[in-house]
Amino acid sequence: MTTDTETPKPLGERKERIATDFTRVARGYDLLCALNPGYIRHLGMSANRLKLAGDASVLDLCCGTGLSTAALRKSYPGVSITGLDASAGMLAVARNKKNLSDVTWIEGDGMNPAAAGATGPYDGILMAYGIRNMVDPDLCLTRLHELLKPGGSLCLHEYSVADSRRSQWTWKLVTSTIVIPLGLVFTGTTSIYRYLRESVLEFDGVAALEERLKRAGFIDVRTEPMDGWQRGIVHSFLARRAEQ
Element (H, E) at 146: helix 137-147
Q: Are 90 and 108 in contact (CB under 8 A)?
A: no
Q: Are 193 and 179 in contact (CB under 8 A)?
A: yes
- Candidates 70, 81, 86, 179; binder of ligand SAM (CB under 6 A) is 86
Residues 6+ apart with CB under 8 A from 89: 22, 23, 24, 26, 27
Residue 22 or 122 with smaller CB distance to ligand SAM? 22
- Candidates 47, 50, 85, 232; binder of ligand SAM (CB under 6 A) is 85
> Using CA atoms, how far apart are residues 27 and 22, in angstroms rounded to an integer?
10
Residue 15 or 241 with smaller CB distance to ligand SAM? 15
Residues from 96 through 155 that contact ligand SAM (CB under 6 A): 109-111, 128-130, 133-134
Report the chain's C-alpha Rg in angstroms: 17
Residues from 21 through 60 that contact ligand SAM (CB under 6 A): 22, 43
Q: Minimum distance between the CB of residue 155 and ligand SAM, rounded to whole angstroms?
A: 11
Q: Which is it for strands 148-159 and 122-128: parallel, antiparallel or unpaired? A: parallel
Residue 90 or 206 with smaller CB distance to ligand SAM? 90
- Candidates 25, 50, 56, 62; binder of ligand SAM (CB under 6 A) is 62
- Candidates 14, 45, 68, 93; binder of ligand SAM (CB under 6 A) is 68
Q: Minimum distance between the CB of residue 242 and ligand SAM, rounded to whole angstroms?
A: 26
- Candidates 45, 64, 93, 204; binder of ligand SAM (CB under 6 A) is 64
> Using CA atoms, how far apart are residues 231 and 41, in angstroms rounded to an integer?
13
Using alpha carbons, select from 102, 158, 94 the residue that is nearest to residue 126.
158
Element (H, E) at 72: helix 67-75
Coil, helix or strand at residue 81: strand
Number of residues that bind ligand SAM (CB under 6 A): 21
Residues that bind ligand SAM (CB under 6 A): 18-19, 22, 43, 62-64, 67-68, 85-87, 90, 109-111, 128-130, 133-134
